[in-house]
Amino acid sequence: MKNTIFVLFVISVFFGCKPKAESQSSHSETPIAMDEGTLKKIDIHVHFKYSREYLPALFKKWNMQGVLVDVYREDPNGIVRSWDNYLTHAQTYPKMFSLCSAIIGVGIDEPDYAKKTIEQLSQEIDSGARMVKVWKNFGMVTKDASGKYIQIDDPRLQPIWDFLKSKQIPVLAHIAEPLQAWRKLDPKSPHYGYYMGHPQYHAYNFPEIPSYETIISARDNWIQKNPNLKILGAHMGSMSHNVDMVAERLDKFPNMYVETAARFGDLASQDSDEVKAFLTKYQDRVFFGTDYGNSIPQSSIENAQLKEEQRLLDTNYRLLWNYLSGTDSLEIRGQKTRGLGLPIDILKKVYYQNAVNFLKLK
Ligand SMILES: [Zn+2]
């Protein structure tokens, strides 16, 4: 049964990132005197490509809004993006969703690459995009005409960053992968399931992919060279295995922020007191995000599967709420831990206010 639930959810979510069952909390009650629906929330990283009948009520129950994040990706199956789906979904539920556009490095050698990319972004910002995503194809997948992997600090991308600065639009940067991608697969790792399902991103098996250090260092160089560009490091800035490493970058780069999507398992694998101290110190720089989403239309799903998808989404939001707000023992992606018991003032910022300020939602 457990396997069936896992498979049902995995096939119903966006497969390029990695939302899935986070696992179960041993206690479902919320230890602090606040109902989960009282606190306003923004999930800054979701991929609800298609609408669901249950979603408006579920988001209302959680007092949640979401940022629909497009992924413009190049993988072994070709170039794909989902902007039109997200635009339609956001236009149908404008109070529920905001939009994040995306760019890709394919064609970077063409003389009008930057101009065309800026035209695309300009149009999508006019349609409501409040942020632009760069994905791990920068650094790990896409090569230029000379056969070199395009790193995110490539000077040919600079006109795009200058344009985004002029528009005051931030970048959501999923650059590199968790460090474990460059290591032999460990069944105890919170990322075991993802790399089993997406072996093409398990860099350990592809020595030609640049090292973790090379990609992170290009990312850092890009952030440093663009102090007026706000950069939100997706997935804890691909440094989720160690909050000290994240803290070091946040200290160094005032224009850098991070969000938690699909990395609660990594946080849970670290000492709760240390994670709490990190979130306390950087309470203005960390955003709640999950990577939850779907990849097939509701019309293609059986009723029972739809119900299960809804139940899992609700269960997962509750588990993360219990981790952040509570102090009970719980398990996230196989990592046993206890809740962080963050005070209400910090929860308000991480769940909501930081994203409102960053995306100028009000
Ligand atoms: Zn994602």
pLDDT at 17: 41
The first and second tokens of residue 97, run together, are 């969703």
Ligand 1 geometric centre to CA of 33 (Å): 32
Q: How far is the CA of 345 from the centre of ligand 1 (A)?
A: 27
**15 in a structural domain:** no
What pLDDT is stored for residue 74 in this prediction?
A: 85
Provide DSSP, 86-116. HHHHHHHSTTTEEEEEE---TTTTSTTHHHH
Residue range 103-107: mean pLDDT, rounded:
97
Separation in Å, CA 190 to CA 30, 86, 196: 24, 28, 12
Q: Does some domain include residue 191?
A: yes
Q: Is residue 13 part of a domain?
A: no
- Give yes or no for residue 18 having a pLDDT over 60: no
Give distance in angstroms: CA of 15 to centre of ligand 1: 9
Q: Has residue 98 been placed in a domain?
A: yes
Domain extent, residue 323, equals 39-359
Could you give the CA distance from residue 315 to residue 20 in angstroms, rounded to a whole number? 11
Answer whether residue 92 is part of any domain: yes
Give residue 81 CA to ligand 1 midpoint distance, Å: 12
pTM over 0.75: yes
| 113-170 pLDDT per residue, tens | 999 999 999 999 999 999 999 999 999 999 999 999 999 999 999 999 999 999 999 9
Residue 249 has pLDDT above 70, yes or no: yes
| CA 254 to centroid of ligand 1, rounded, Å | 24
pLDDT in tens, 38-76: 899 999 999 999 999 999 999 999 999 999 999 899 877
Give residue 35's pLDDT band: very low, low, confident or very high (50, 70, 90).
low
Token representation of residue 248:
């070091």
Centre of ligand 1 to C-alpha 250, Å, is 21
Residue 23 resides in a domain:
no
pLDDT at 332: 97
Residue 238 falls within a domain, yes or no? yes
Give distance in angstroms: CA of 282 to centre of ligand 1: 22
Supply the Cα-derived Rg of the chain in whole angstroms: 19
Q: What is the pLDDT of residue 119?
A: 98
Q: Is residue 18 in some structural domain?
A: no
Q: What is the CATH number of the domain that holds 235?
A: 3.20.20.140
Is it the case that residue 34 has pLDDT exceeding 90?
Answer: no
CA-CA distance, 112 to 92, in Å (whole number)? 34
- For the chain, how far is it from start to end, CA to CA, in angstroms? 44
Please give the distance, rounded to the nearest whole angstrom, from the Cα atom of residue 352 to the centre of ligand 1.
Answer: 19
Q: Rounded CA gap, 271 and 161, in Å?
A: 37
Say how many Å lie between the CA of residue 236 and the centre of ligand 1. 12
Q: How far is the CA of 47 from the centre of ligand 1 (A)?
A: 7
In total, how many domains does the chain have?
A: 1
pLDDT digits (tens, 9 = 90+) for 262-289: 999 999 999 999 999 999 999 999 999 9
How is residue 234 written in tokens?
């997706």
